[in-house]
Amino acid sequence: MTDKENRAGRSECNDDQPFWQVKSLQDMNLDEWDALCDGCAKCCLHKLEDEDTGELAFTSVACSQLDIASCRCRNYAERTFLVDDCVELTKENLSHLKWLPPTCAYRLIYGGKLLFNWHPLMSGDPESVHQAGVSVRGKAVEEGGDQDLEDHIVKWPEQDYEEDFEEAG
Ligand code: SF4
Ligand code: SF4
């Protein structure tokens, strides 16, 4: 998300309220939908599924297309062609994506919750998600070699930040 997109999102607010507080996810336009992404890149980490229980576990290993420094996809436009299990988040499939991290803005808004203060839409600064330690920056490792994903199972992507919720504006 860029500052320009951020400002564009705010410019469409009704009654001075930001769009994410007055519009449902279904009613958001494409720019607003895209601006909701906080850029944490936790959804771009490899996950493992327990064959018996179906339970998913995050690993710290990033998708091969993720730039772990910037937390951006190197080939965003072609992502679903380049990576078989890259899932495009849409209004239609959002409710089925149980593995989205608890801090994911789409999951929060879908669940009727508020954005955290470190969300770039709240702070006006795309770096705030990284400065708050919420993104994969400094924690994710590159995919490659003879990595065993089981050795890289981590809990931090599932960490909630409930105490940091903004109060309703
Ligand atoms: S987890 Fe959600 S907010 Fe974070 S990068 Fe993925 S889609 Fe965006
Ligand atoms: S291809 Fe998909 S999963 Fe991989 S970095 Fe890009 S957006 Fe993330």
Nearest Cα to 127, choosing from 44, 66, 38, 43?
38
Q: Could you tell me the residue ranges of all domains in the chain?
A: 3-158
Question: Which three-class secondary structure state does DSSP give residue 87?
Answer: coil
- Amino acid 15: pLDDT: 62
To test the pocket of ligand 1, the residue of 36, 46, 70, 106 to mutate (highest count of ligand atoms within 8 Å of its CB) is: 106
- Our mutation pick for probing the ligand 2 site, out of 42, 44, 47, 99, counting the most ligand atoms within 8 A of Cβ, is 44
Res 165 pLDDT > 70: no
Characterize 12-30 residue by residue with b for buried, 16 or more Cβ atoms within 10 angstroms of its Cβ, and e for exposed: eeeeeebbbeebeeeebee
| Cα–Cα distances in angstroms (integers) from residue 51 to residues 48, 55, 106, in the given order | 9, 8, 27
Given the CA of residue 87, which atom of ligand 2 is nearest to it? Answer: 2
The reported pTM is 0.87
pLDDT at 60 over 50: yes
Q: Which residues have CB under 8 Å from 88's CB, separation 6+? A: 79, 80
Predicted pLDDT of residue 69: 97
Atom of ligand 1 lying closest to residue 89 CA: 7
Q: Give the tens place of pLDDT for each residue, 86-124.
A: 999 999 999 999 899 999 999 999 999 999 999 999 999
Q: Is the pLDDT reported for residue 14 higher than 60?
A: no
pLDDT band at residue 72, thresholds of 50, 70 and 90? Answer: very high
